[in-house]
Structure 1
Amino acid sequence: MIFSTGAWAKNPAAETKLTGNTLTGSSEQAGSGTLQQIAISVGDGQDTPVFAAGEKTTLTINVSNKGNTDAQNVRITPVVTSTDKWPFDMDKLNYELELGTIEAGKQAAAVWGSEKEPLTVSSDVTGKSYQLMFQITYDDGQKIYETEKYVFVKTQAEEKPDDGDSTDKPQDPQTPQDPQTPQEPSNPGSTGGSAGGDVLEPGGVYNEDPVISGGGGGDTESASVPRVIVTGFSTEPAEVKAGDNFKLIVHLKNTSKRTGVSNMLFDFQAPAAGTDAAAEAPAFLPVSGSSSVYLENIAANGTKDISIDLNARADLVQKPYSITMSMLYEDKNAVQYDGQSSLAIPVKQEARYEFSEIQVNPESVSVGEEANITCNLYNLGQVKMYNVKVRFESEAIQGQEQFVGNLDSGATGTVDAIVSAVAESYDDSNCKLVLSYEDDAGNVTTVEQPFTVMVSPMEEITDVGMYEEFPEETQSSPLPGILAALAAVIVLVVIAVVVVVKRRKKKRMAEEEEELMDEVERFTEDERE
């Protein structure tokens, strides 16, 4: 639907000129020598308004005359080509406003809506910015001028009801430490082998008491049991990333001060974890294919380390995962013992995201004008992105930082910002969108995305002054000049022809004279003979 300005007939001789963010109409007042000028602009000195879905409100647009002549019969009308481009409910057929006369250097406010009949913001606004186009007509008492100008407004979508899922950032995130120290489990009766790591804290260790599994002879009941425990572990690299290989180094100690242990076999088993489609696969897999490690012995009250190369599944969620280490060993009497320990290994997921194509509307602006910059940010990774913010860096544009919020895995964030052109620039990739976000540990990551905004210089309004009156010069027709040039060419051609003819005639006479002399000489010789 298009709102027209009514039956305005424009003067075909009227001159209109769009200058920067203003429309300039100019004419010369008869007999004065003064250049009469009207320069119309909109939105001067106004902040970008924000309208919430369902809100009852008003829309105010300042219309300024920066020229030196009064603008008469000023009318302003919203140009609405689609309801998707107008953030308010359509309650009327005609939204045209008459502003009357705007004196030179003054401004008038165009207001849609009132306390009794307010504008209603559409309930289906999505939170994007809207470019509102207005048609403005006016005259200077002689000629009628017409232009279309635009402003940007922002909207806020309706808040969705809370579904009960907590998306708050963890208040006390845990980070792995190297080396790890033993920690008591929250549930002493548990083996620490939970797939989700609910029992052990990140980097935690739990040791079970060993039991005699057979072998040996003599009185084993009265003998002390040599305990082999895990005192801690470390990883190389220190931060385990999903999809990467890492080395797990386990620190062991024989707590018995009298009995050494030998013939030790360790086996690592990780619980099933990951996405639903692969929930039966272990969280960690041995790189070599074997999950067992052999150690010859540990002396009484001695310590040793064992290591194994593992791979963390690429689809693991960022959290600690437990791995169970079973152990078999013997004492000096060949008595066999069976023990078990559990380790909680924190897994880090790298954030993965993509930008959609950055849209600039309009693609080219003049200094002093505004542009709307929009794009989408897709969280393609397995981790949540916290406190996502966007700002713009450029010598050509200026804009305020925008807070996008928290983005869950698979969610889409919208960047919708309004910037002002401040300097001329035609270079490619002359602007940068700077994205910053935090992980669950509060670490800030910053990335840059280049894009281009073409900024042309503002055309200055011609200063109005007094000019001396000069008699109007009658423009001469170019025909006499053309005829004179043509005559000159013809004369040159005639001269050239005459010269050529004379030369040829002279040459011919010389040849005839030479032939005549030859004939005379031959005649003379014949007479002598």
Structure 2
Amino acid sequence: MKRKMSKWIKRSMAFVLAGMIAMSGAGVWVMQAQAVSSNDVEGPAPTDSQMDTAKSDIATYANNLIVSRNLTGKDKQKILDMLDEARYKIGHDYNHANGYAEMQSYVANVRSMMDAVVAAIPSSTSDFLTLADTYLTPSVKYGQAVTIVLPVINYSPTELSDVMVRAKVSNLVSEWPFEPTSAGMTRSILSFPPYDNTKSMETVRQDVSFNFVVRSDVKTGYYPLVFEVTYTRNGNVEKAEITTYVKTTGKPESGTLDGDSEEDKAESSKPRIIVTGFETVPAQVYAGETFTVTIHVQNTSKSASVTNVLFDMQAKEEGKDEDSKFAAFLPTSGSSSVYVDSIAPGASKDLVIEMSAKSDLSQKPYVLDVNMKYDAKEAVDLTDTASVSIPIYQEQRCETGDAEVTPADITVGGQSNIMFDVYNTGKTTLYNVWVKFEGDSISGGDSFLGTISSGATGSVDAMVTGAAATMDDGKIRAVISYENESGAISTVEKELELFVSEEFMGDFSDPSMGMEGEMGMEELEGSGGIKPFILPIVLVSVVVLIAAIIIIVRIRKKKKEKAELAADLEALDETDR
């Protein structure tokens, strides 16, 4: 009985011990499980506020890239597509545990992809036209009338002429913050000297002012303002662009430049017609001439055609008051409109119109506005405006007055004074006016008159030297040369009459000669080497020489008179016919 109790006690103790061990093992497993769970805790999901903040941050980042780098076309669209995709994913793909951290990582990755797009964009096209450091980005508000002043500096080593600065206007509120009127969108600078570091910035810069009215539906943000520049440098017409920015404040309901509203998307989808270039026949149009201008236009839409397109070409009006205003160009047919039935997506059309330039135009570029009205899909009566600048030239005219040649007969080595006036009878300035004399019998006399303004006179007062005896009719030439604004040289010739004869070798002023030029008989008789009979021979030789000179001069003058008389008779015969 005691043995059975002992066995039972031992078995009970074994079960208790096994249970304790089992419980101990289970406790260890529970602790290990808890430890594993504590090392694999998931992060929180993003809140609505955090998702809105992420959307705003990525939109701001994208907008800053577009504005600061003046992105357009495909590059701008790439950034906007990335922005749209990022907004969608932020709002739909990360609303789960640990989604906040994943969302932050995704936003950083999108920024890197946007930076890669910007890094592949080429630099600006303008090499030496830039704004001064004094320029400050203006701030404007909807409905406000503002003046934008561009302090432009020419860092080119040469002077620029016929500079035209034109604002690149758009009808889209997302691209242009001001009312899209064509009036006052172009400014001109006749002469733009190069930068001089010895002068103050206020002296070397050119302030170009534009007056605008801010659109009532303008959006809040930074708008890029692009100004197209054409100018003449070293005789060549070149182009450049100047880009600046303006900070705008719009109505709350107008939104921002993020462009996320349905209205903005609909507006940006409207097709646009742009002017891609033009040419004239003849290439250089002179005042008073008739010319043909061909303007190239393109439908920039990739999917929508434009129909019922009406183009109206109107030249800017010139003049200071209403009574003296006039259009620089007028169509020869009486109509300035061109109708095109339709333009396919991405297609181009040429607009050809014959026009006449007024005869009293100054030599400078004149603006021709191209006003457009067209339909596209459901939208009707869409409008847009573009401009081209057509340079007008004036014929340079130079005339001379009567010349005074004093004396008209000189000997070799002698000098004659030539004086006459040079008149600028044209409407342009004559630059670098030179007067040079040409002839086999003369040398010297070159004169520099410099610049002669329209209607002004330059005076020539030159001394020419006899270089050789005249062997012809005594004609010499005064060659007047001058340059235009492009440096092209023109010449005008003026005929003058000047006779040059050989210098007499004898000295007839010897004191030993008498009043009649005869040597005293006493000296002749007293000299051992000269006989009295030589005196008549000397006198006769001198008289013959003088007579020969007089006869030659008279014969030449008679030949000249006969030639002039024959020319007059020939002209008279032609008149009678």
Q: TM-score, length-normalised on structure 2? A: 0.45
Where is the strand percentage greater, Structure 1 or Structure 2? Answer: 1
Tell me which of the two structures has the higher relative contact order, counting C-alpha pairs closer than 8 angstroms and 6 or more residues apart: 1
Where is the helix percentage greater, Structure 1 or Structure 2? Answer: 2
